[in-house]
Amino acid sequence: MLRLPLALRLIAGCCLLTIIAQASRAEDAGAPGQTFLYPDGAPGALGTEDADRPSIRLYLAPDATRTGAAVVVCPGGGYGHLASDHEGQQVAQWFNSIGVTAAVLKYRLGPKYHHPVPLQDVQRAIRYVRSHAAEFSVDPARIGVMGFSAGGHLASTVSTHFDAGTPDATDPIERVGCRPDFSILCYPVISFEADYSHKGSIKNLLGENPDPALVHSLSNETQVTSETPPTFLFHTAEDTGVPPQNAVAYYMALLEHKVPAELHVYQNGPHGVGLAAGDPVLSTWTQRLADWLKQSGFLAPVQRAAVKGKVTVDGQPIGIGAVIFVPEHKLHPSTFALVFGGNFSFSAASGPAVGLQHVHIYNLGGMGLAPTIARATNVSGRDDITWLTYEVQPGENEFDIGLSKPGN
């Protein structure tokens, strides 16, 4: 019988105890078990330890509130560590609270691993969730990616470097596309070229003296196209670790290419706040995200329709007003349009969802050198009640809404 030298047996025993201890801590923290993305070993692996085996921890949304949406979450850590608690598990639990399934990614890190290994890991995670969509009760067309700090760089990288899969691959997971349907970037590292770039992330991902062409290709504000997914960005102005110019540069590139995007920069807050638990102002960024997911149609499948119409009160068109369509379906987006001279319109791309809609109409007054009304008034009923209900049909809709002043 072959016996290992005592020193090697001690090392092997210590490694086994470390793995057991790590698994025990994760279990004690209430984390689901790891699902290894490559059960037989990841391509390019430089070892067989836990850090060499990319994986996800899957947090399934509760049956009662499941929306069908899913997000692959990439914790930050400068491509050298992973903030798996406050940028991982805690975020996944928040997603579950709004009915979204989350998969927290453990990707391979520098300086041991360099590009393109982390990108391959997040691409594989998206493919994995999409290929198991039926099993996870997920809509394969509503799978997004989210990243914090350097994880935000990774999320923006897969949002600008993706493919449709390899149809003839022997591995069925590799036949599936890895383009995220939406992106969520939280205080992200974006540029590798600008003077505000995060040097530690660059070194860990690319090593010393990287090729300038590679640096440019991973400065993701330069890689945005019209195919880049719709994106939500969150940052703080006080962030000196990863300045907000990163998020702003990416946002401006999205606007240039007409990609739907929303950016929130809070005045106060340091780098790495996660959910900003306990801060009554900064923590509201998650509500802005929930609103964006709903308004963008990622919490439920949405068919929008074109709507136009005219609003009159006692036969007279409203000078300046607002019309708001609030859907009966709680996960469908509301829509808002201004009324000028009694007329309003929504395009098919941004119009109300097909189905039953409750309509609120406000009179905002008119144009002039002096006020014409005491306050904005809901002329369709009280603020908490609307008497107007319309069924929006597919295609084009036209509603002529004639109202009367109270008492008339």
DSSP string, 208-240: SS--HHHHHHT-GGGS--TTSPPEEEEEETT--
pLDDT over 50 at 255, yes or no: yes
- Coil vs helix vs strand at 82: coil
**What percent of the chain clears pLDDT 90, i.e. is strictly above it?**
86
What pLDDT sits at residue 19?
Answer: 43
pLDDT level of residue 264 (50, 70, 90 thresholds): very high
- Full-model pTM: 0.91
State how far the alpha carbon of 1 is from the alpha carbons of 4, 6, 16, 59, 197, in Å. 10, 15, 22, 45, 56
How far apart, in whole angstroms, are the C-alpha atoms of residue 141 and residue 296?
13
Give the burial class of 90: count Cβ atoms within 10 A of its Cβ; 0-12 exposed, 13-18 middle, 19 or more buried.
middle
What pLDDT sits at residue 108?
Answer: 98
Other CB atoms within 10 Å distance of the CB of residue 203:
18
Quickly name the fold that domain 28-295 has. Answer: Rossmann fold (3.40.50)
CATH 2.60.40.10 assigned to 306-403: yes
Q: What is the 3-state secondary structure (H, E, C) of 266-293?
A: ECCCCCCCCCCCCCCCHHHHHHHHHHHH
Domains of the chain by residue range = 28-295, 306-403
Per-residue pLDDT tens digits for 181-200: 999 999 999 999 999 999 99
- pLDDT, average across residues 36-44: 96
- pLDDT, average across residues 196-223: 97
What pLDDT sits at residue 381?
Answer: 76
AA identity, residue 117: V
Q: How far apart are the first and last CA of the chain?
A: 101
pLDDT level of residue 86 (50, 70, 90 thresholds): very high
209 contact partners, CB below 8 Å, separation of at least 6? none
What pLDDT sits at residue 377?
Answer: 85
pLDDT level of residue 22 (50, 70, 90 thresholds): low
What pLDDT sits at residue 385?
Answer: 63
pLDDT level of residue 306 (50, 70, 90 thresholds): very high
- pLDDT, average across residues 196-205: 97
Tell me the pLDDT of the chain averaged across its residues. Answer: 92
- pLDDT, average across residues 259-285: 98
pLDDT over 80 at 1, yes or no: no
**Greater model confidence, 296 or 406:** 296
Per-residue pLDDT tens digits for 102-126: 999 999 999 999 999 999 999 999 9
**Greater model confidence, 369 or 265:** 265
CA angle 264, 258, 91 (to 5 degrees): 35
How far apart, in whole angstroms, are the C-alpha atoms of residue 99 and residue 310?
38
